[in-house]
Amino acid sequence: MTDAIVPTLVVGGAVVDDLDRPTVLLAARRTEPPHLAGGWELPGGKVDPGEEPLQALHRELFEELGVKVEVGDELLAPNGLGWDLPPAHRMRVWLVRVIEGEPAPIEVHDALQHLPLGRWAEVGWLPADVPIVTALTALAEER
Ligand code: 9L3
Ligand code: MG
């Protein structure tokens, strides 16, 4: 019998200006690993062993951007489990708003963009992030 492959849980933040009616979204350009470098993403990273997903979200956003955030709604994936990041990860995404600090590309990113609604598709997102940003756009446009 083969063991089931359990995807590693990643958490990501859709950093927006307003949790109820987002009109600006933060995109971050990765510097690593080489095959993902240059791609834009929602910032975040892996949940550590023993860590709660929301703790990991706060930790990752502080490490990567130097900000403290308020967390809003989770952006649910159609499968209810999180967004697949092939081949080995799955990501849960929450809307977040900065409450302390100014986002800066402190580690693993070399550029940030604050994108006004209407231009969220005009970025070279990592393939895995494209359906997430599409869902986020639909949510923002209906609010
Ligand atoms: N990943 C994809 N999109 C994202 C994030 C935060 C992460 N928005 C993928 C890239 C890596 C894996 O998940 O393959 C783990 O992310 P990290 O810990 O390297 O940021
Ligand atoms: Mg990361």
44: left (phi over 0), alpha (psi -120 to 50) or beta: left
Q: What is the pLDDT of residue 49?
A: 95
pLDDT given for residue 44 in this prediction: 98
Rounded distance from Cα 2 to ligand 2 centre (Å): 30
User: Which residue has the least CA distance to atom 9 on ligand 1?
Assistant: 85
- Ligand 1 centroid distance, CA of 47 (Å): 11
Judged against a pLDDT cut of 80, whether residue 3 lies above it is answered with: no
The region that residue 50 occupies, defined by phi over 0 for left and psi between -120 and 50 for alpha, beta otherwise, is left
CA 79 vs CA 5, 50, 62, 67: distances in Å: 17, 24, 29, 30
Which token pair is 56? Answer: 């990991």
What does the CA dihedral 42, 70, 93, 76 come to, rounded to 10 degrees?
A: -140
Phi, psi (5° rounding) for residue 56?
-65, -40
Region 44-71 average pLDDT: 98
Q: What pLDDT is recorded for position 143?
A: 85
> Is 43 within 8 Å of 28 (Cβ atoms)?
yes
Q: How sure is the predictor about 6, in pLDDT bands with cuts at 50, 70 and 90?
A: confident
pTM, rounded to two decimals: 0.96
